[in-house]
Structure 1
């Protein structure tokens, strides 16, 4: 599906004037902080602050988004009750370097309301100040405490979903691998949105065509990904560790029921889809969809955009069994384990 020519021209122009992320990540953080301050609260969602104590004593910030059912009548007045069908543990994107719970507040609010689930967003420690494996260790510990019932007193530990986009999708997949290997808990469900799963994004050496096809003109570039990974890794040896790049894990058996969603014009598209196939080959229950006419990072778009609406339709189908029908013009491709 061809992307609109005017939009494509804007993407190309923006992509080609971007500075090297290794030198500009601090400026991007400032821009994200300014953007986050402009977000308007939604009365249909209550936002609370929380913390989780890490093994080293650090108090890791969390933000909890609880969907609300607001009912008003002349007889009883305004009645507000929690309207949650489970808990989503969310790991934000941003290349392990950028992104924050503040920057993702609007997306998490939309997520809580549309999916009717409480969302716990994790402000894991970011690189380069805290390099690999700090981020996955932070995320693992929050997931462990949540599944143990010690983080939130009223959580249904059997109804927890791990969810992440981009680098956050990488972290969700890694947490599931760590949980299998360590044996302390095992998530039942995970959702990975255009996840980073591999370790080579050099267009001349990468295994994946999407790095070459989509690595220059669609906002997230191959150079960006390589720069983020350079900032994230503690050493070059880290690139060859499964908790850094889960696609290289020798086995992907004993993993949660998984939804993978990729974007047509994303350089990470192919590695996400191959990761889904490997999960299935190793005995997992997996569904994989490619959202057409979409670029990397679209979860942060306003919820009125069709690609965002379509993504939530796919997620609700995966989580709740809602009916999923395409219109006359396809909006996604069902690639694996789909109806």
Structure 2
């Protein structure tokens, strides 16, 4: 359904109370994690595990369909501006994802900025992907990477990094309203930043604050592993599904990335969810935008090999 006037007024009121994320990121992180935490019911099939690197362990949580079976796998990177979110706050999203796609879902609890700035989150996601895709004894097969918002950014960057390092190959990626560019201020070339950057919960100011917390230095802003749309070479990328939202400030840069992937010779599908807001993917499946999103995802997973 379209956004009515009452909902629009409420969105504007909430959006204009934007806190200074840079100054209050710990409070903001705690608020997000507490309000979005979902305690799993006993009948949900989950398992916590860890991927070991040379210096530390990366927590992951594995969500499986209720019935036993040899299911394909979605490797999921959560959103939150690289600053908030964790595997607990995305429990409900991942249980729904596993149930609605009939896939195992492996959710990665990557390190967060600013304590661990770029490229720490990307390195963690890369290590988990390498562990799965290079491990011939792994029971998880037919792996597709997927992420929303900052997680979509990490998925796109991971695909570029995997191509360049040549340690493993990613066959498919699903990017849900991904961040792909380096400028979300008044100088952004994308209309959606100006049209949707103040009234729809995720503001352009908040995106810019997240960016400043994520980068190590200003040179990161020009790094294609930070902003994949800056990559000069986008050849040899996975088959890609990009889903954007009509009222999302990141809409146009996500679609621009898809068009550039297509121009570089990659199989790419781009869909814009009408009346969708940034973050709609975390809503219950009964919402029409979420239902349509999963219809698109399931068709892609079934038909694009």
Query: TM-score of the superposition, structure 1-length normalised?
Result: 0.87
Change (3 A) 1:23 1:308: same
Q: Which residue of 1 aligns with 2:174?
A: 191
What is the CA distance between 1:95 and its match in structure 2?
0.2
Gaps of 5+ in 1: 70-81, 323-339
Give the one of 311, 324, 337 matched to 2:293.
311
What is the CA distance between 1:33 and its match in structure 2?
3.0
What is the CA distance between 1:147 and its match in structure 2?
0.1
What is the CA distance between 1:35 and its match in structure 2?
2.8
Give the one of 167, 176, 179 matched to 2:150.
167
What is the CA distance between 1:34 and its match in structure 2?
2.3
Q: 2:81 aligned with 1:95, yes or no?
A: yes
Q: Return the index of the structure with the highest Cα Rg.
A: 1
Q: Which residue of 2 aligns with 1:54?
A: 53
Give the one of 130, 133, 136 matched to 2:119.
133
What is the CA distance between 1:25 and its match in structure 2?
2.1
What is the CA distance between 1:7 and its match in structure 2?
1.0
What is the CA distance between 1:37 and its match in structure 2?
4.4
Aligned-partner Cα distance in 1 for 2:214–2:21: 12
Following TM superposition, where does structure 1 have runs of at least 4 consecutive aligned residues deviating by more than 3 angstroms? 36-40
What is the CA distance between 1:120 and its match in structure 2?
0.4
User: Where do 1:256-335 residues align within 5 Å?
Assistant: 256-321=238-303
Gaps of 5+ in 2: none
Q: 2:90 aligned with 1:104, yes or no?
A: yes
Structure 1 contact 67–84 (Cα < 8 Å) conserved? no
Task: Tell me which of the two structures has the higher relative contact order, counting C-alpha pairs closer than 8 angstroms and 6 or more residues apart.
Answer: 2
Aligned-partner Cα distance in 2 for 1:37–1:171: 22
What is the CA distance between 1:305 and its match in structure 2?
1.0
Q: Which residue of 2 aligns with 1:154?
A: 139
User: Where do 1:29-108 residues align within 5 Å?
Assistant: 29-41=29-41, 43=43, 45-55=44-54, 57-69=55-67, 82-108=68-94
Structure 2 contact 38–89 (Cα < 8 Å) conserved? no
Q: 2:218 aligned with 1:236, yes or no?
A: yes
Q: Deviations over 1:25-83 (max 9, x none)?
A: 2122222332344444272x30100000123x2011100001112xxxxxxxxxxxx24
3-state DSSP of counterpart to 1:50:
strand
Structure 2 contact 37–90 (Cα < 8 Å) conserved? no
Give the one of 76, 89, 103 matched to 1:117.
103
What is the CA distance between 1:222 and its match in structure 2?
0.4
Aligned-partner Cα distance in 1 for 2:143–2:40: 28
Number of equivalences = 304
Aligned-partner Cα distance in 1 for 2:284–2:201: 17
Structure 2 contact 50–60 (Cα < 8 Å) conserved? yes
Q: Deviations over 1:269-318 (max 9, x none)?
A: 00000000000000000000000101101111112111111100010111
3-state DSSP of counterpart to 1:23:
coil
Deviates more, 1:6-15 or 1:190-199: 6-15
User: Where do 1:11-22 residues align within 5 Å?
Assistant: 11-22=11-22
Structure 2 contact 38–88 (Cα < 8 Å) conserved? no
Structure 1 contact 210–269 (Cα < 8 Å) conserved? yes
Aligned-partner Cα distance in 2 for 1:274–1:171: 17
